[in-house]
Structure 1
């Protein structure tokens, strides 16, 4: 390489390095706390730790995870709402923080926080035991129709999105079915496997072990479109059941959060979601990217809250 050409290349590299350093230094905080209501090892905890592992180097920020358990998210929401709106603290959002607010009516609810990004959809699927006679969602509904009062469907807990989905499916398909809530996914799985329940609803990650062992069969996904890792599984809508569950994972901040912090965070999130290393990680966890920036996240959260509130009223969980 000639000296002039080498000098030009080095100059370009220097500009690139300087630009990268500038991009990393753009975020207004060097340390950021990510708060979750989950205990260590829980869904949101795992989500945040894996996100931080990839996002930290991308943004040049030191992310710390803080687990604030209790009150089904109420304590964690209050912790973040009291924080400074300077981009130094965020809350890991899921529909739980909306449900907790509507049901428990804590002093600090989801409206005290400002949605800044929605990153993923966490699809919910309908599953049955492998030996069950059901091959489609239509088979399940037809069984319930022909055996009134005998069909049993299962959900993780009384006010979960899973139960809401099953109650909606029952009403929209005009079948009377007992939707049985459980203390958790483990108890639900036992009752599906032993035939006490015809079907259950859960996340693919929770079913992975039983799927690999060939003990369960997935009949449908409650999403707008099929899952990339399970393209053979049709959506509920494709099978004539107009039910969609919007379980999301995102971030929210104290009200009035700095626009500069929001803009820089969004840029970092978009970049890390496209990074091969993180793509491999979230794809293996069956998370579907649905990146929404601040304005979209605010609209989306409001729509989900309206939908959940209406459903709670329809089911008699909250007053009309």
Structure 2
């Protein structure tokens, strides 16, 4: 299994494609729509809007982000699955599109799309509003154990990786907190800030602005080791909670998209990941680039493996049979 640490090593060791390779082949269309199930300001929305700033000059096309909400991501997946496989529409993948498929079995699931690339691994953090009495994740869990069923925790949409992570957290600590799903990270943040929720979970892109404004407090990170950008923030494991979560960010297109188009995406992504301007952005957000997973074949293999592991986790939680 590819881990956050192994991919970080690979990112430093594997040379990325030179920009001149891209310049020799023109993208087949002048514009591309990037579809996400995320609401404006949510993790995938922020990911796409920052990425296209750097992709536009490399690929020579015009990009537009389309936020398609509903169905825990199923509506957005269906939108892309029905599109022409000509490179004009691409979906921003996260574990949500796999989990939605396994939980609700929509007409168009994750396997209705063809992965193009896995771009980043994305650390998940648990946070609360700054007025909260909790200074650490361990303190919040102690309070949850002392009053089972009293706390309210917020996650993104019902089938998200974050939702499953909080359900696992409930089991690990015996909290029985109510896990409240939302349509996106922006909605979730509002309810943490107004005190409706005791805790929220999300990635740095979603919560960074509120963290820098001093309106939230980070309680713990669900990674194997501490983040370089927040070295004082303890992992859940360091706080006595054996919970590690790996979230990915990638791209997928309709089935039937030509390999030549997929190769153009892989080359462009290698170029922008190696650019100093974009490297400064994703390093600040603790995103781990995944050069080994940019080619389509590797992205397919990774997606299949994650789907298998996710199905196993859902069965352990008693969510699916």
Q: What is the TM-score normalised by the length of structure 1? A: 0.78
- For 1:1-320, list aligned pairs within 5 A: 23-27=22-26, 29-31=28-30, 33-38=32-37, 41-43=40-42, 44-59=44-59, 61-65=60-64, 67=66, 69-72=68-71, 73-173=73-173, 175-183=174-182, 185=185, 188-189=188-189, 192-193=192-193, 197-285=197-285, 287-291=287-291, 292-293=293-294, 294-318=296-320, 320=321
C-alpha deviations, 1:128-149, integer Å up to 9, x for none?
3435443333323333333444
Would the alpha carbon gap of residues 285 and 38 (structure 1) be closer, same or farther in structure 2, given more than 3 Å must change?
A: farther
Structure 2 spans left out of the alignment, 5+ residues: 1-17
Give the equivalent residue in structure 2 for 1:11. none
Change in 2 beyond 3 A, CA 1:225/1:30 = farther
Change in CA separation of 1:264 and 1:309 when aligned onto 2, cut-off 3 Å: same
Paired with 1:76 and 1:188, the residues of 2 have a C-alpha distance of 20
Question: 1:103-154: per-residue Cα shift (whole Å, max 9, x none)?
Answer: 3322222102111211123322111343544333332333333344444433
Secondary structure of 2:92 counterpart: strand
Residues 261, 27 of structure 1: alpha-carbon distance in 2 compared, 3 angstrom cutoff: farther
| 1:71-104: CA deviation from partner (whole Å, max 9, x where unpaired) | 4443443343344545454222122222332333
User: Is the 8 Å Cα contact of residues 40 and 67 (structure 1) preserved in structure 2?
Assistant: no
CA pair 254-275 structure 1, distance change in 2 beyond 3 A: same
Q: Which one has more relative contact order, counting CA pairs under 8 Å at least 6 apart?
A: 2
Q: Distance in 2 between matches of 1:68 and 1:143?
A: 37
Partner Cα distance (1:40, 1:134) in 2: 28
Larger radius of gyration: 1
Determine helix, strand or coil for the equivalent of 2:290: strand
What is the CA–CA distance in structure 1 between the aligned matches of 2:21 and 2:203, rounded to whole Å?
Answer: 40
1:65 is paired with a residue of what secondary structure? strand
For residues 163 and 297 of structure 1, the distance between their equivalents in structure 2, rounded to whole angstroms, comes to 24
CA distance in 2: counterparts of 1:33 and 1:207, whole angstroms? 28
| Distance verdict in 2 for CA 1:63–1:285, change over 3 Å | farther
- 1:254–1:205 distance in 2 versus 1, CA, 3 Å: closer
Q: List gaps (5 residues or longer) in structure 1.
A: 1-18
Distance 1:252 1:260 in 2: 14
Q: Contact 1:163–1:179 (CA<8 Å) still a contact in 2?
A: no
The structure-2 alpha-carbon separation of the partners of 1:41 and 1:140, relative to structure 1 and needing over 3 Å to count, comes to: closer
Q: Which region of structure 1 is more displaced relative to structure 2, 250-259 or 161-170?
A: 250-259
Q: Secondary structure at the match of 2:200?
A: strand
Instruction: Describe the superposition over 1:259-308 as per-residue Cα deviations: whole angstroms up to 9, x where unpaired.
Output: 33323321221111110122233345554423422233222212322333
Number of residue-to-residue matches in the alignment: 299
